[in-house]
Amino acid sequence: MNLEDFEVICKNICKIPKIFKKSLFDRIKKVGGLDENAEKIPKQNFVNYWKTEYEMESVSKRVFKLLAQPNTKYIVPDDFKSLFKYLLESHPGLEFL
């Protein structure tokens, strides 16, 4: 599965906004011990992550888990950096930045 596959996964399976696709993709790579530069992840890695981390959580808790550092109960400003970086790099309306 590649990053583009995660747009549908975020929307239809995880029920989270598609802007989080990169965060989810990167989190699964990290949890699965995959190379951080990998452009694809095995489907089984997503299934394992879904069953252990997301399946029983509310949508708001899923988003919180993507933003917050693992094993914390709060979000700090630095937690938004990767999301904002991805937004600036990928949103066509922000090319001028």
pLDDT tens for residues 74-92?
A: 999 998 888 888 887 777 7
Residue 2's DSSP bridge partners are 40
For residue 97, pLDDT over 70 is answered with no
Percent of the chain with pLDDT over 90: 46
First to last CA, the chain: 30
Model confidence, pTM: 0.80
Mean pLDDT of 66-73: 88
Give tens-digit pLDDT for 38-59. 999 999 999 999 999 889 999 9
